[in-house]
Amino acid sequence: MASTLRLERITKRFGDFVAVDDVTVDIAPGEFTTLVGPSGCGKTTLLNIAAALERPSTGSIVIDGRDMTEFNARERGIAMVFQSYALYPHLTVRQNLGFPLRVQKVPKAEIARRVNEAADLMEIGHLLNRKPRELSGGQRQRVAIGRAVIRPSTVCLLDEPLSNLDAALRVRVRAELKLLFARMGTTTMFVTHDQSEAMTMSDRVVVLKDGKVQQQGAPLEVYRNPANVFVASFIGSPQMNLLPGQLASDDGRPAVKAGALDLGLSAGLAAAAGARSEIILGIRAEDIATTPFANSSKFSARIELVEHLGNSAIMHYRTADGGRILGMEMRDSGVGTGWSGDVHVNLDAVKLFDSKTTAAL
Amino acid sequence: MVADFARDDRKVAMLFLLPGVGALLVTYLVPLAYSLGLSFSEWDIRKPGAQWVLSGFGNYTDLLTSEGFWRAGLRSLIFTLAALPIELVLGTMIALLLTSEMVSSKLSALTRVLMLVPLMLPPVVLGILWRLLLNVNYGPVNSLLGLVGLGPFTWAAAPDTAMATIVLVEVIANTSVVSMILIGGLLSLPPEPIRAAEVDGAGPWRILFEIKLPQLASYYLIIVLIRVMDLLKTFDFIYALTGGGPGDSTSMLNLFIYRVGQRFLDYPMASAASWVFLVALLPLSIWLLIKAVASSKDYLND
Amino acid sequence: MTDLALMSLRPAASRAGFRWRSLVGQAWRYGCLVVLLAVIVFPIYWLVLNSLKHQRDFFTGPPIYFTTDLTLSHWQEALGNPLNQKYLLNTAIVTAVSTVLATLAGTLCAYVLARIRLPFRLNRVLLISILIARLFPPVSLAIPYYLLMRQLGLLDTLPALVIAYTGLALPFVTWLMLTFFQDLPREIERAAMVDGCTMFQRFRWIVLPMSLSSMMVTAIFVFMGVWNELLYSLTLTSLSAKTIPVAIASFVGDNALAWGQMSALSIASFVPILLMALTVQRYLVRGITFGAVKG
Ligand SMILES: Nc1ncnc2c1ncn2[C@@H]1O[C@H](COP(=O)(O)OP(=O)(O)OP(=O)(O)O)[C@@H](O)[C@H]1O
Ligand SMILES: [Mg+2]
């Protein structure tokens, strides 16, 4: 059955530089977990540590409850898809797929059978006799994944396997990949710097920055309740509106002022904000619209620019005091560039962050 | 760094290193130790069955007070210092010529291939060949120069022209090294700065000296280091061309050591001379090492 | 009005000046090229001509630059001579064996140095030793080799030369292969690690097939160097293990007037080297600069 993987308090130093800083990640059997973060945040390093390609400075790797820190990749039973695919250039696709089995001295007939199986799964049956250099980027990626899934593995690691594909292919493949791994039920750790991949593919996301875990949880949970300003700005497109503001009270009712916005706060948020005066206000674009919400507050602004996405549009609002705010409209809302009037904020979706620690309140 | 990890890898690594390191020990360390011992010894080879006995610094003091050794060292130095600048200047000119847009590219490609010929000529053959070409009475060079009223020159046949002759042959044979490296360098220069300078109205000389050549500084460094080491080691073609003569006019340190050892069978003295030669090369070697190792940090794995 | 006239004149004038200057520049460049080609080609022509001239045509007042009265007798004598045949065979055997040995041992060393972090800073120690060995003047080893081989009873045997040449070539192979391995993407080997390969399996199944052509190039360089080597052969052999460079060099003393045979034998020893040089032409600069310039 599928395995568990636990990276326990992993730290990796290169000289004085700390690439991975006290990271703990727990992956349940069959779970598809995504490591996401900006370039250079230590994703590949963490993956290499999990695959025994790199030794952690401190911390341990536990697979199925067993400490595997001192074991090599083979003994850990890990499969991996590399960012550059790392296909063996001198071997044909057939030999590339069969290579992990050949190393394990699987009988020839069995290798042939499983190669065909994997080729069918990845739909690369017609490419079996080609060399990697005769393949397109998408085909190479399929071979690389095929090579990883051909043998039973405890955990499958994928390092940005989609980043070398063109945009259209990437969107298609990410759905296929998700289906494939759901069907196989392998425990998977997937690395990407693209938050939309993280959102769409994973059962759970781990957001990394500067080697530290910022937040982990189900994608929607992370989206709805980002743990800090970094996660709020990194996850979600368009970016969440983040406005510095002050806490105030309107006739005794708690409120927050940020530029042209003056929003009443729910009792819960007001309690969380406590005695602070400075605050960072976070509102997702879809919670700002020209039509009122159930519990909304409004400010006046002008539409400066409209980015049409087809099914919806991103509105760039400019307030009287010069502030910019992003909102979102469905496609038939009928407002356009130059429109000005009242804009509504969904008070139920307002987030507050501490202005110093940037943590969510 | 990759396999810092797998436990069995280090054992295999040692196994992989074994043949090479073993061979290096056998072919360098053992003879060097032997020769070091020998250089501090006396060995009367005229007595049959005599063994060498340690005797202190005698060979070194003899050597360092012998005129022949210093003259040989001086000749090595003269040979190197004469050939190197000529090769650098000529090599640069040839490289510029063969990358010039004004020369048909087919012709320069052909010339580049032909340039391999003197370079690849076995050094012994080179010596023999120039023996024939520079023969004072029957060689074509003197006869051709005679047509324009020059010569006849004595070339390698007289002590006072032999050194210049050796330098000439060395230059003809090995300037290709300099040009080939520089051609690679010139072709890899980014065109933008040159175009920009042209647009700014810089003349060809200014572009050459202020834009092209400065960018080739690292190539020149490598060339100088490699050429100096090779020039100091030159043996084969001189042996075939002059054998160190006439007299000892082209007997450089290499040939001096060879003669002391193989002609006069004074092995301890030859060993001492080898060591002095080695120690003299040391500063240069260390410089080269620092350059090479600094540029290869990736290999160091630590 | 005058301004207009000037404007239309000036480019024309400078274009004419430009054309004249570039013509001179071109003529001067082609002049240099002709001299260069002459210096390269004439000696080789002379060598070939000498190997085909009749003996009587060598020692004439102005030398004979061109003749159709040629003979193959020098070639027949040079190559028909059983001694020369033996020397050629010796050279081929010694060169082939030491090239293979040095290439294999050096490649293994280079792979470890490129990829494995050894204890005790051995990487650095070995790398520097190898470089020092490479910079060694061979003459400083010639005397101890001679004496040691004499003690071992190996003087004038092929194994003595093989030992000396393998040692001579080893640092070169190691360093050059190191620069090749550096260019090999590490990720492929990492993939092999994940696929369960031990270091030996990685080397055997992945690295070796991928670096065969680099090894060939390196081996060809070694071959050319060893084939031409004179000093060790001169020191370590006397009769039966002589190699072809020694045989050619010994014309000078023993048979100084046999110019035809000298030339024929020289060409015979040069041709294999030239052919090899042409096959690795692309890598020549890399070989010459010891990998410092990738070329
Ligand atoms: N061998 C090394 N030596 C020193 N620093 C390293 C080494 N490997 C990685 N680093 C550093 O560690 C940090 C994390 O690198 P890593 O490759 O894990 O980033 P990443 O998150 O995968 O980035 P990307 O999205 O660009 O692939 C980087 O700043 C990098 O410079
Ligand atoms: Mg990465």
Q: Note whether residue C140 is domain-resident.
A: yes
Q: Note whether residue C263 is domain-resident.
A: yes
Sorted by where each begins, the domain ranges of chain B are 60-301
Residues in B closer than 8 angstroms to A73, CB to CB, are: 6
Which atom of ligand 1 is nearest the CA belonging to A193? Answer: 25
Neighbours of C190 (CB within 10 A): 21
Which atom of ligand 1 is nearest the CA belonging to A47? Answer: 18
Residues C38 and C169 in one domain: no
Neighbours of C85 (CB within 10 A): 12
Candidates A79, A84, A88; nearest CB to C194: A79
Residues in B closer than 8 angstroms to A55, CB to CB, are: 4-5
Residues C204 and C129 in one domain: yes
- Looking at residue C15, its pLDDT comes to 55
User: What is the number of alpha carbons within 13 Å of residue C158 lying toward its C-beta?
Assistant: 14
For residue A37, report the distance from its CA to the centre of ligand 2, in Å.
10
The candidate with the shortest Cα–Cα distance to A43, out of A195, A222, A268, A244, is A195
Percent pLDDT > 70 in chain B is 91
Q: B129 and C198: CB-CB below 8 Å?
A: no
Fold designation for B60-301: MetI-like fold (1.10.3720)
Ordered by where they begin, the domains of chain A are: 5-234 (3.40.50.300), 241-354 (2.40.50.140)
Question: Residue B247 burial by CB count (10 A; 0-12/13-18/19+): exposed, middle or buried?
Answer: exposed
Most B-contacting residue of C100, C135, C187 (CB-CB within 10 A), to test interface? C135
For residue C185, report the distance from its CA to the centre of ligand 2, in Å.
15
- CA pair distance A88, A94, nearest whole angstrom: 11
For B52-67, what is the mean pLDDT?
Answer: 80
Residue of chain B with shortest Cα separation from C61: B138
For residue B114, report the distance from its CA to the centre of ligand 1, in Å.
48
The answer for A 37-76 residues in CB contact with B (under 8 A) is 52-55, 70, 72-73
Residues C11 and C122 in one domain: no
* Shortest distance, CA B239 to any CA of chain C (angstroms): 8
The rounded radius of gyration (Å) of the Cα atoms in chain A is: 24
- Looking at residue C17, its pLDDT comes to 60
Q: What parts of chain C have a pLDDT lower than 50?
A: 1-13
The candidate with the shortest Cα–Cα distance to B176, out of B107, B99, B83, B112, is B112
Contact B59, B291 (CB under 8 A): no
Contact A141, A161 (CB under 8 A): yes
Chains that touch B (3 or more CB pairs under 8 A): A, C
Residues C134 and C264 in one domain: yes
For residue A282, what is the DSSP state? E
The number of residues in chain B equals 302
* Shortest distance, CA B90 to any CA of chain C (angstroms): 10
Chain CA centroid to CA C178, Å: 19
Buried b (16+ CB within 10 A) or exposed e, B39-53: bbbebeeeeeeeebe
Residues C134 and C180 in one domain: yes
Residues C129 and C258 in one domain: yes
Among protein residues, the one with the nearest Cα to ligand 1's atom 7 is: A14
Q: Note whether residue C185 is domain-resident.
A: yes
Q: How many domains does chain C have?
A: 2
- Looking at residue B295, its pLDDT comes to 58
For residue A39, report the distance from its CA to the centre of ligand 1, in Å.
8
- The residues, any chain, with a CB within 8 Å of residue C132's CB and separated by 6 or more, are B285, B289
Please report the number of interchain residue pairs, chain A to chain B, with beta-carbon separation below 8 angstroms. 12
* Residue range B31-48, pLDDT digits in tens: 989 888 888 887 777 666
- CA pair distance B123, A145, nearest whole angstrom: 55
Please report the number of interchain residue pairs, chain A to chain C, with beta-carbon separation below 8 angstroms. 55
Residues of C with CB under 8 A from a CB of A: 185, 187-188, 190-197, 201, 205-206, 209-210
Host domain of residue C218: 74-288
Most B-contacting residue of C67, C113, C140 (CB-CB within 10 A), to test interface? C140
Question: Residue A325 burial by CB count (10 A; 0-12/13-18/19+): exposed, middle or buried?
Answer: buried
Residues C233 and C152 in one domain: yes
Among protein residues, the one with the nearest Cα to ligand 1's atom 25 is: A39
- Looking at residue B4, its pLDDT comes to 46
Residues in A closer than 8 angstroms to B7, CB to CB, are: 70, 72
Residues C18 and C94 in one domain: no
> In Å, what is the CA distance from C119 to each residue of B4, B12, B298, C51, C270?
10, 14, 17, 58, 45
The CATH number covering residue C88 comes to 1.10.3720.10
Candidates C187, C209, C210; nearest CB to A82: C187
The ligand whose atoms approach the alpha carbon of A19 most closely is 1
Q: What is the mean pLDDT of each run of 10 residues along chain A (361 residues)?
A: 86 90 91 91 91 89 89 85 89 92 89 90 88 89 88 88 81 84 87 88 91 92 91 89 84 80 81 82 90 86 89 89 87 81 88 86 80
Residues C14 and C115 in one domain: no
Residues C175 and C37 in one domain: no
Among protein residues, the one with the nearest Cα to ligand 1's atom 22 is: A44
Contact B251, B245 (CB under 8 A): yes
Residues C36 and C100 in one domain: no
Question: Under DSSP, is residue A312 helix (H, G, I), strand (E, B) or coil?
Answer: strand
Q: B219 and C105: CB-CB below 8 Å?
A: no
Q: Note whether residue C116 is domain-resident.
A: yes
Mean pLDDT of chain B: 83
Contact B232, B281 (CB under 8 A): yes
